[in-house]
Structure 1
């Protein structure tokens, strides 16, 4: 599927209108319910196909953030053969007490995988936690870049940031819907 058609499919599948409170606390009339595109195997496969081209060379681990980044990281791992880790917002307090489940991230070059980025707040917290665990966190890859503030915050922290689509790309795709 080409990129323009993929944008339309994501829009058709996941775009909602109404009044929505974002993680940042802001209100929005446009919302992309990422779980609607992440739970669609054909669409998630097409997203992974396009995202795989954006993974920085040298990436040793794809670190999917709880919860929405996990299916994207899994699809990318299947597509590329790069191992995945699944990063909790807080290390569990029982069993292995791990922050990152799956492959060990210590000493490895990690690309954080997220579905939608608004301010990048949780990514910054998780990047710091992964660094404490010994990971070399250099980049972030997401499906939808909702606001420029997220890019600014991540790049200010020294992270390379790549997005498949900006919010305005998806909203503009509606003008070509047939």
Structure 2
């Protein structure tokens, strides 16, 4: 986890935990099997809760001194959050696919061009950072400057940055420890 985190919002943590924490046996994108799962689509489909998360994310965004920065929402869960944060800030959004389309424009990222522009990634949940790492590498290959990911929930082990290997700072609204504290 990074030094930059949202001020703990116990009410938001309690509401997300109550709505989104599922227990059972769940296989994560990384292949890990977890005894619990945070179903982020439950908060993302709730307009009031999504707005609360997006408002917290606004304070975590890096400065955009030249006004050319983009918010890169990762498919699928980062897209509604990036759209809401874009609406709140006036910063343009970019929608980053898991892989480029094989038809039409064949783009990996839908929206404004990324070459030479700073892209702040927006993600729902980060555990090992696999999807964020893939998007970062692809966007950098396209000429983007990617240094920060702002996420709703950081499930990575406390005190660890799962994306340090690609030089990416993780800025979470909530951590697993904060959610555990209210459950």
**Same fold judged by TM-score > 0.5?**
yes
Distance 1:150 1:106 in 2: 33
Which residue number corresponds to residue 14 of structure 2?
A: 8
For this pair of structures, how many residues does the alignment match? 173
Question: How has the CA–CA distance of structure 1 residues 92 and 42 changed in structure 2, closer, same or farther, with 3 Å as cutoff?
Answer: same
Question: How has the CA–CA distance of structure 1 residues 158 and 146 changed in structure 2, closer, same or farther, with 3 Å as cutoff?
Answer: same
Question: How has the CA–CA distance of structure 1 residues 42 and 112 changed in structure 2, closer, same or farther, with 3 Å as cutoff?
Answer: same
Question: How has the CA–CA distance of structure 1 residues 23 and 172 changed in structure 2, closer, same or farther, with 3 Å as cutoff?
Answer: same
Unmatched 5+ stretches in structure 2: 1-7
Distance 1:19 1:135 in 2: 38
Distance 1:51 1:152 in 2: 18
Structure with greater proportional helix content:
1
Q: Deviations over 1:13-59 (max 9, x none)?
A: 11111111111111111110000000000000000111110001127
2:149 to 140, 145, 148: 140
Q: What's the offset of the Cα at 1:156? A: 2.6
Aligned alpha-carbon RMSD (Å): 1.6
8 Å CA contact 2:20–2:40 kept in 1: the answer is yes
Q: Deviations over 1:109-161 (max 9, x none)?
A: 11111100010111111101101111111111101011138953312311121
Relative contact order (alpha carbons < 8 A, sep ≥ 6): 1 or 2 greater?
A: 2
Normalising by structure 1, what TM-score? 0.92
Q: What's the offset of the Cα at 1:87? A: 0.3
Distance 1:13 1:83 in 2: 30
- Which aligned runs of 4 or more in structure 1 are off by greater than 4 angstroms? none
8 Å CA contact 2:74–2:121 kept in 1: the answer is yes
Distance 2:19 2:115 in 1: 37
Q: Which moved more, 1:142-151 or 1:64-73?
A: 142-151
